[in-house]
Amino acid sequence: MRFSEKAAQNLMAIRNTKPLIHNITNFVAMNFSANALLSMGASPVMAHAHNEVEEMVALSGSLVLNIGTLTDEWVSAMIKAGKRANDLNIPVILDPVGSGATSFRTASAKKILAATAVSVIRGNPSEIISLSDQSSITKGVDSVHTVEDAFQPATSLALELGTTLAITGPKDLITNGKKIVRVDNGHPLMGRVTGTGCVATAITGAFLAVDPDPVRASATALSFFGLAGEIAAQSASAPGSFMAALLDSLYRITPEMLEKGCRIVEE
C-alpha cells in the first residue's frame, strides 16, 4: 500500500476511534498540543501525577513523553508510565526537548530510554545527535544541526535502541536503521510558533495509536501535520493568525485531501 493511501486510512481510523492519547508534556505546549489532538479527532489527556499515570496510560492508545519543562519528579513519572505502557504493549513516543542544551536534559532523556522501550523518538537534529554523542549541543531547544547532520547518528541510534527516529526539519527524515523515509510537507511559519515540534510529537502519538508500524505511523503523521501547515499558510501570513489557522486545518483536512497532498518518499 502506498504511503498516501495509508495516511488517509490512519486519519480516518483516528476520527472513527478517537483514541485517548496520554501526554506527560511541558507547560509551554500543553494547551496547544491538547487542542491540536482534539482538532484532528483524537482525545487528549494531560496527566503527570505519580498517583495516576499508571491507571491513565492503561486507558490510552499511546503515551507521549515530552521533557520540555522537566523536573526529577516528572522524569520519574514518565518512567513509571512508560514501564506500564510497555507491560500493556501500548506504544510510547519520546520528545527529548532541548537534549544537548544542558546535562540534566540529556541525562534525563537517556535515563528514560534506558528504562523504557520507546517506539519512536521525535526530535530536531541537534536533539537526536545529543542522544548518541554527549559532546553535541543545542541552542536552547532549537537545532544547530541539519537533518542530514543527524542522519548517520540517527541510523546507528535506531539500530542500537531498536526504535524509530523521526527527525523534523525543512524535510523530515524517519528511520529505524534499515528503512529511510522522507517527508516533504510543511511550511516555514511552523518554526515561528512555539510548540509546533511538541504538537508534531503528540500527533505522531495519535497515529501510533492506530498504526502498529512506527516508521509508517511517523511518516504519515508528519505528512498530515506538514500539510496542515501548508494549508494554514494560505490564509495566514504571520505567526499569530497562523497558529489559529493551523488548528483549523487539522480539523478540516479530510482523508481524501491528505491522500492527495501528502509527500512521502521511501529511499
Contacts of 208 (CB under 8 A, 6+ apart): 61, 62, 91, 93, 119, 120, 214, 217, 218, 221
Percent of the chain with pLDDT over 70: 95
Tell whether the model's pLDDT for residue 19 goes beyond 90: yes
pLDDT value at position 171? 92
SS3 string of the chain? CCHHHHHHHHHHHHHHHCCEEEEECCCCCHHHHHHHHHHHCCEEEECCCCCCHHHHHHCCCEEEEECCCCCHHHHHHHHHHHHHHHHCCCCEEEECCCECCEHHHHHHHHHHHHHCCCCEEEECHHHHHHHHCCCCCCECCECCCCHHHHHHHHHHHHHHHCCEEEECCCCEEEECCCCEEEECCCCHHHHHCCCHHHHHHHHHHHHHCCCCCHHHHHHHHHHHHHHHHHHHHCCCCCHHHHHHHHHHHHHHCCHHHHHHHCCEEEC
CB–CB of 23/33 below 8 Å?
yes
Assigned C-alpha cell, 125 = 537534529
**How far is residue 258's CA from residue 226's CA, in Å, rounded to a whole number?**
10
CATH of the domain at 119: 3.40.1190.20
Domains identified in the chain, total number:
1
Residue whose C-alpha cell is 493568525: 241
Mean pLDDT, the chain, integer:
94
Confidence (pLDDT) at 244: 97
Residue 141 pLDDT level (bands cut at 50, 70, 90): very low
Residue 102 sits in which domain range? 3-266
Q: For residues 198 and 68, what is the distance between their CA atoms, to the nearest angstrom? A: 9
Q: What is the reported pLDDT for 144?
A: 58
Return the number of other C-beta atoms located less than 10 Å from residue 55's C-beta. Answer: 11
pLDDT at 132: 85
> Which neighbouring-strand residues pair with 172?
183
Question: Residue 136's pLDDT is what?
Answer: 47
The band of 133, judged by pLDDT with boundaries at 50, 70 and 90, is: low
Tens digit of each residue's pLDDT (9 = 90 or more) over 151-170:
898 999 999 999 999 999 98
157 in Cβ contact with 122 (< 8 Å): no
Output the pLDDT for position 200: 98
CA dist., res. 213 & res. 201, Å (int): 16
Please return the burial class of 166, using the count of CB atoms within 10 Å of its CB with bins 0-12, 13-18 and 19+.
Answer: buried
**Rounded average pLDDT over 209-231:** 98
Q: What is the pLDDT of residues 37-71, one digit of tens each?
A: 999 999 999 999 999 999 999 999 999 999 999 99
Mean pLDDT throughout 259-264?
Answer: 98
pLDDT exceeds cutoff 70 at 137: no
Mean pLDDT for the stretch of residues 236-245: 96
Please determine, for residue 142, whether its predicted confidence score (pLDDT) is greater than 60: no
